[in-house]
Amino acid sequence: MDYSAFQSLEINKLTKVYLGEIQIKNPALWWPFGMGQQNLYELNVEMLKGNDTFFSKTSKIGIRKAELVQQPIDCIEPDENCKGKDAGRSFFFKINEKEVYMKGANMVPIDYYPNRMKSESELKWLLFSAQAANINVLRIWGGGMYLDDNFYELADQAGMMIWHDMMFSCKIYPVHSKQFVENSKIEVREQTGRLQHHSSIVFWDLNNEGEDQAYWGDPGNWTIY
């Protein structure tokens, strides 16, 4: 692996984000279940002050490209309501430039008590049961909760794609409250930062049925939605 020079970007007086680039020639790609191998690399990061390590972290990452393809669609039977490419847009995914047919299920919290959701054997059973049913993607419902790291690690290993909602669902939220918006920004940054290296997460969705906001909370204001 070749490391480029590191740069630092100061976000505030307490936090710095260190940006670097790692180049891997001809990497073994990560593939979803049924399309190929789930190749994972071990990434070790250490931060030194002099000769002393003050921070270290090890993660397993898969290298893959996930793309949502939305292209204009021609009208099948053109009329006054549909002309040319007015029929909408396509909605399908490519992984590593190959089209994938997603066969999914909705995943709600598997227990009322979060501290009882950490059993590796139970999570493996859930993922292997999904595979046995020919499911290759699980949607983490926005009315539930973010899961512990071990779930996403197991999903990486199993090749189970994850469609992940943010935890906003079926509510009219106080979007005009600066405090609420700032708090939500922190939540989104922390969760996407924690989970961004997981190759299994191929799509982030901002909410579940959040259109209530545009219908009743701020009628007609789809920008807020």
| Residues marked as catalytic | 209
Q: Which residue spans within 35-83 are E strands per DSSP?
A: 41-49, 52-61, 66-69
| Burial tier of 103 (Cβ tally within 10 Å: 0-12, 13-18, 19+) | middle
Q: Which residue has the tokens 């009208």?
A: 75
Q: How far apart are CA 219 and CA 118, in angstroms?
A: 41
Tokens of 131: 């595979």
What distance in Å separates the CA atoms of residue 55 and residue 197, rounded to the nearest whole number? Answer: 18
How far is 78 from 84, CA to CA, in rounded Å? Answer: 7
Collapsed DSSP state (helix, strand, coil) of residue 113: coil
Write down the H helix ranges in 133-177: 149-158
Residue with tokens 């690690």, as numbered in its chain: 153
DSSP string across 17-42: EEE--EE-SSPPPB--TTTS-B--EE
